[in-house]
């Protein structure tokens, strides 16, 4: 009996341990997606020359409350089944705002998937790139909606009243805070293009101070790690094969010890000379192609003309040839007949 109890307790302990482990894994995965959503949002803003949004704990709570309400009450909408609008959750979490916004996403597996869907929607894109907002909060959770397992993301934006209120007359300015030496700062960045025999490459370099946990170049949706060369200089040689530099911005991404990503856009001036040379080369290539195409067209036109001539004139020549041969044969037969008549006489 004791053995059976011990066995059951052991099984129960293992089951609890496994569930706890899985719960940590799920929470960790959600945290990773939430951080990536914030990163993708700031990438888009920096690429458009806008200020990055600061992650706010109260806005994270706003997003979390909304996710829990949707999963708990089996709906997916900006307005709850009880008629609660998005601003209810801002008030409940204690976030006083001058401007606020909300994006909802469902049925996705990665942060990029939901972010890409938002950027393809004008209303969601407007929230992401709005200059009215200064802060952001995100919550991601998996659950059931209409008896179907799904993953929901809530992205909320805000501009709190504490940032927008007029300065009181008795306001006393506080001294500037001391900048810590370990604060991650992207001081500058540049690109140098290299002409290769098979494909072009670009040398991306960035000066990043403050002991970053990682430095990357972001081109479109691709991230390329930069290696530390010396002091605060990070570099990498990246192939341009498959990249459209005319359309894609190049950003430098640095991650600090709090796992917060900081972005900076590489100045456009570094692209000008390369794009001019590229455009000239493309023009020359197009001219060569046009010349070859023209020669081919001329050749085809000549062949077509000859064929047309044979089709139209050749038939007439054939008839004329047959007529001449027939006349010649008749003449030969007449001569032969005359010769035979002479022999008989």
pLDDT confidence of residue 27: 57
> What number is the average pLDDT over the span 198-207?
86
Lowest mean pLDDT among 17-31, 52-66, 228-242: 17-31
Q: Tokens in use for 283?
A: 């023009």
State the pLDDT confidence band at 14, using cuts at 50, 70 and 90. very low
Q: For 164-194, what is each residue's pLDDT tens digit?
A: 455 445 544 444 443 344 688 898 888 888 7
DSSP 8-state code for residue 181: T
State the pLDDT confidence band at 23, using cuts at 50, 70 and 90. very low
Q: Tokens in use for 110?
A: 């990665």
pLDDT confidence of residue 210: 85
The 3-state DSSP class for residue 172 equals coil
Distance between CA atoms of residues 217 and 204, nearest Å: 7
Q: What is the dihedral of CA 309, 310, 313, 317, to 10 degrees?
A: 150
Percent of the chain with pLDDT over 70: 70
Distance between CA atoms of residues 295 and 292, nearest Å: 5
Percent of the chain with pLDDT over 90: 41
Residue 261, pLDDT > 70, answer yes
Please enumerate in sequence order all residues whose Cβ is within 8 A of that of 144, keeping only pairs 6 or more positions apart, or say none: 71, 74, 150
Q: For 56-74, what is each residue's pLDDT tens digit?
A: 999 999 999 999 999 999 9
233: β partners: 207, 230
Going through 15-83 in order, the beta strands assigned E by DSSP cover 54-55
Tell me the pTM: 0.65
pLDDT confidence of residue 174: 43
133 and 159 Cβ atoms separated by less than 8 Å: yes
137: β partners: 156
Q: Which of 155, 156, 148, 157 is nearest to 75 (CA)?
A: 148
pLDDT confidence of residue 7: 43
Residue 225, pLDDT > 90, answer yes
Q: Which residue pairs, CB below 8 angstroms and at least 24 apart, start in 245-251?
A: 245/202, 245/271, 245/274, 245/275, 245/278, 246/275, 248/219, 248/220, 249/47, 249/219, 250/191, 250/204, 250/217, 250/218, 250/219, 251/43, 251/46, 251/47, 251/217, 251/218, 251/219
Lowest mean pLDDT among 55-69, 257-271, 275-289: 275-289
Q: Which of 59, 67, 39 is nearest to 141 (CA)?
A: 67
Q: Which of 36, 33, 43 is nearest to 252 (CA)?
A: 43
Residue 335, pLDDT > 80, answer no
pLDDT confidence of residue 20: 43
Q: Tokens in use for 315?
A: 């038939």
Distance between CA atoms of residues 95 and 199, nearest Å: 52
> What number is the average pLDDT over the span 3-25?
42
């Amino acid at each position: 009996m004791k053995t059976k109890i011990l066995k059951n307790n052991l099984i129960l302990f293992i089951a609890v341990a496994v569930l706890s482990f899985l719960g940590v894994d799920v929470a960790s995965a959600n945290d990773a997606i939430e951080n990536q959503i914030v990163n993708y949002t700031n990438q888009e803003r920096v690429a458009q020359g806008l200020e990055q949004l600061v992650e706010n704990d109260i806005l994270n709570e706003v997003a979390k409350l909304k996710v829990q309400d949707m999963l708990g009450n089996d709906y997916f909408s900006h307005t709850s089944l009880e008629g609660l609008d998005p601003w209810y959750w801002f008030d409940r979490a204690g976030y006083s705002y001058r401007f606020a916004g909300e994006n909802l996403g469902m049925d996705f597996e990665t942060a990029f998937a939901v972010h890409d869907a938002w950027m393809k929607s004008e209303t969601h894109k407007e929230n992401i790139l709005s200059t009215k907002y200064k802060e952001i909060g995100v919550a991601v959770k998996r659950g059931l909606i209409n008896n179907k397992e799904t993953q929901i993301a809530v992205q909320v934006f805000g501009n709190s009243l504490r940032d927008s209120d007029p300065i009181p007359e008795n306001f006393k300015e506080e001294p500037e805070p001391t900048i810590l030496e370990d604060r991650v700062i992207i001081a500058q960045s540049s690109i140098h293009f290299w002409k290769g025999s098979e494909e072009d490459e670009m040398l991306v370099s960035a000066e990043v101070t403050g002991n970053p946990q990682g430095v990357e170049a972001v081109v479109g949706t691709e991230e390329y790690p930069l290696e530390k060369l010396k002091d605060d200089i990070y570099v990498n040689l990246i192939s341009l094969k498959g990249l459209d530099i005319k359309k894609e911005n190049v950003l430098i991404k640095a991650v600090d010890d709090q796992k917060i990503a900081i972005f900076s856009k590489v100045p456009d001036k570094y692209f000008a000379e390369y794009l001019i040379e590229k455009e000239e080369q493309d023009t020359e290539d197009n001219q060569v192609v046009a010349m070859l195409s023209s020669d081919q067209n001329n050749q085809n036109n000549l062949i077509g003309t000859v064929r047309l001539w044979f089709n139209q004139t050749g038939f007439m020549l054939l008839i004329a040839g047959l007529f001449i041969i027939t006349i010649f044969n008749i003449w030969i037969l007449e001569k032969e007949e005359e010769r035979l008549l002479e022999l008989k006489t």
